[in-house]
Amino acid sequence: MKTVLITGATRGIGLELCRIFALELDFKVYMGCRSLEKAKNAIIELGNSVNIIPIVVDVSQEESVKQAFEYYKQIKPKEEKLDILINNAGAQLDWIPNGEYIKTFDIDIELLDKIFRTNVFSHLIMTRTFISEMSEGGRVVNVTSGSGEFWDNNAIMDFQPGYAPSKSAAIMMTKKIAAAALPYKVYVNSCCPGWCRTAMGGDDAETSAYDGAKSILSACFINKKNPPSGYHYRYGKKIPIDVLPGVNITKYIPFSVRKYLRKILIPVYYKIIALKEKNQNIKQRKNKNAK
């Protein structure tokens, strides 16, 4: 049975990931949680699946991660290795959907530190702690965000001075972890789930937590034969972080206009890619038949 460990998994996108891995893909799921009580309720919500096992871990605290690792080694079968680690836990403590936000010059440095610990340092701490128990060919997906991409109109707004920069840093940290993980034959990428309707994303978000989970899922399985490492993805597509995906000329378009373009161009971009892939598949099938 394949195995996955998902942090921050008792609600939102993490909970959807647990549902998909345990109930649709038949994985053994280690559900990272801060509260065992919450995890037990979440497992009941998922129909009490015996394939979901809670592990208490506060990803921002190295000691807690170490304890979680020791616990994991105690409860897992001897031969079992971890196939996928999803560093999903995240905190957006400087902005509440439809509510209060903190301006850049007003952010408290302790709060900034907490955000970076949770969204960036945790990816390094979790991965370097668990990597010795990962299988060859294993995958790590660090959940980042479009708000960490430089082209996003978020970049010129005087708000989210913690969350957005932490997600940019997480994309770069992913590259560093990917380089360090290569000798273990573990492949590490970052992924944006899209703007999802969760406690963090709020009710006005564009997609469901399920769609967000699917975006992360696709990053877990990209190119099984020749896995990429150190890249940033959304909905299974590699995303450049400094220009609007797929449209290089957008770097010449003012940020204030990009937010309107984003809604139109991104779906068009993905449609073009899907068409290209479809044509490529048809060509490959024709070539096979010809042989």
- Residues forming contacts to ligand NAP in the complex (CB under 6 A) are 7-8, 10-14, 34-35, 38, 58-60, 88-91, 118, 143, 145, 192-193, 195-196, 198-201, 205
Cα 173 to chain centroid distance, Å, stands at: 13
**Residue 84 Cβ vs ligand NAP, minimum distance, rounded to whole Å:** 16
Residue that is written with structure tokens 């992924």 in the block:
191
**Residue 152 Cβ vs ligand NAP, minimum distance, rounded to whole Å:** 11
Closest CA to 194 of 208, 178, 173, 181: 208
**Residue 208 Cβ vs ligand NAP, minimum distance, rounded to whole Å:** 10
**Residue 281 Cβ vs ligand NAP, minimum distance, rounded to whole Å:** 30
- What is the C-alpha separation between 235 and 286, in angstroms, rounded? 27
Nearer to ligand NAP, 118 or 229 (CB): 118
What letters, b where the CB count within 10 A reaches 16 and e where it falls short, cover 179-195? Answer: eebeebebbbbbbbbbb
Nearer to ligand NAP, 135 or 218 (CB): 218
**Residue 285 Cβ vs ligand NAP, minimum distance, rounded to whole Å:** 36
Nearer to ligand NAP, 1 or 168 (CB): 168
Q: How do beta strands 232-234 and 237-238 pair? A: antiparallel
Nearer to ligand NAP, 79 or 204 (CB): 204
Nearer to ligand NAP, 7 or 229 (CB): 7
CB 146 within 8 A of CB 195: yes
Alpha carbon separation from 189 to 87, 210, 219, 234 (Å, rounded)? 10, 20, 7, 11
**Residue 283 Cβ vs ligand NAP, minimum distance, rounded to whole Å:** 35
Exposed/middle/buried for 110, CB within 10 Å: 0-12, 13-18, 19+?
exposed
Nearer to ligand NAP, 135 or 208 (CB): 208
